[in-house]
């Protein structure tokens, strides 16, 4: 039995009150297999990650870099089905008290049925969805479903977004706004794009919101840097690579190193 759902906004606020930033970790469900992906997600929580993004593998991951592409391709080849994401969320929530968001491209949600997907996610103990390929003005059905169920809805903002688009994104998002730090695909980089700092400032100027920065963060020092101006740092490719190269133990070690950066970022 899962414990009552904890929203990501609540966890971010708790961390802020405790004087630290928030670390959000991404892993695809079903890589290298469903059971191991659940164990890996639990390991992230036990190693200091504050909230999870469980990725729904997709055959055309236009936003994802090579490490995540390879992992999702392996998950699909291994027999991943959409219903497995709900199994994973429920299993993780039964073992650790941590907000679990699902990150998914929109087509699988449409194919499953927007209301049916929302209900299944709530029943599994999920906190909400991150939807990288839809904008608030094209998401009426999802906004209605998330209002009905109370699920968080996280939309993306990019450095190229207009001020009007940023305002719409802030107003429509619940939980946090996902600030894309670079113009491109995901993947670890030596330096987090300086555009991220400007984007966060622009988002703050148009309305109150939690803002978490993702894409290109791969070290504890980068987590500390990002949390100097944002509410959360999102890490994906570096964690997927750690899991691929070192298994769950290697992943846990990488997560602990990243979490030390969150602790160092005093709020």
Distance from C-alpha of 121 to C-alpha of 109, rounded to nearest angstrom: 11
Q: Is 53 a catalytic residue?
A: yes
Q: One of 17, 50, 64, 97 is an active-site residue; which one?
A: 64
Helix, strand, or coil (residue 154): strand
Q: One of 17, 18, 46, 53 is an active-site residue; which one?
A: 53
Distance from C-alpha of 259 to C-alpha of 46, rounded to nearest angstrom: 11
Cα distances (angstroms) measured from residue 56 to each of 11, 28, 69, 91: 23, 6, 12, 15
Sign of CA dihedral 79, 85, 87, 93: positive
Distance from C-alpha of 266 to C-alpha of 199, rounded to nearest angstrom: 21
Q: Is 225 a catalytic residue?
A: no
Helix, strand, or coil (residue 209): coil
Distance from C-alpha of 104 to C-alpha of 130, rounded to nearest angstrom: 6
Catalytic positions are 53, 64
């Amino acid at each position: 039995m899962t414990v009552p759902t904890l929203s990501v906004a609540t966890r971010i606020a708790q961390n802020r009150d405790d004087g630290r930033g928030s670390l959000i970790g991404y892993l695809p469900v079903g890589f290298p297999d469903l059971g191991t992906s659940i164990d890996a997600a639990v390991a992230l929580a036990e190693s200091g990650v504050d909230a999870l993004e469980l990725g729904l593998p997709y055959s055309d991951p236009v936003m994802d870099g090579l490490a995540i592409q390879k992992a999702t391709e392996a998950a699909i080849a291994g027999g991943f089905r959409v219903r497995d994401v709900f199994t994973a969320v429920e299993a993780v929530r039964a073992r650790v008290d941590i907000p679990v968001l699902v990150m998914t491209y929109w087509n699988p949600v449409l194919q499953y049925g927007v209301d049916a997907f929302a209900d299944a996610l709530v029943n599994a103990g999920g906190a909400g969805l991150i939807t990288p390929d839809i904008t608030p003005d094209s998401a009426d059905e999802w906004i209605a479903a998330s209002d009905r169920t109370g699920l968080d809805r996280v939309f993306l903002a990019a450095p190229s977004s207009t001020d009007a688009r940023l305002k719409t994104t802030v107003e429509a998002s619940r939980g946090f706004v996902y600030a894309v730090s670079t113009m491109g695909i995901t993947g670890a980089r030596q330096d987090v794009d300086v555009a991220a700092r400007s984007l966060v400032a622009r988002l703050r100027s148009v309305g109150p919101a939690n803002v978490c920065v993702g894409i290109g963060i791969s070290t504890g020092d980068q987590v500390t840097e990002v949390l100097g101006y944002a509410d959360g740092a999102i890490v994906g490719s570096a964690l997927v690579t750690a899991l691929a190269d070192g298994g769950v133990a290697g992943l846990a070690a990488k997560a602990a190193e990243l979490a030390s950066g969150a602790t160092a970022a005093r709020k």
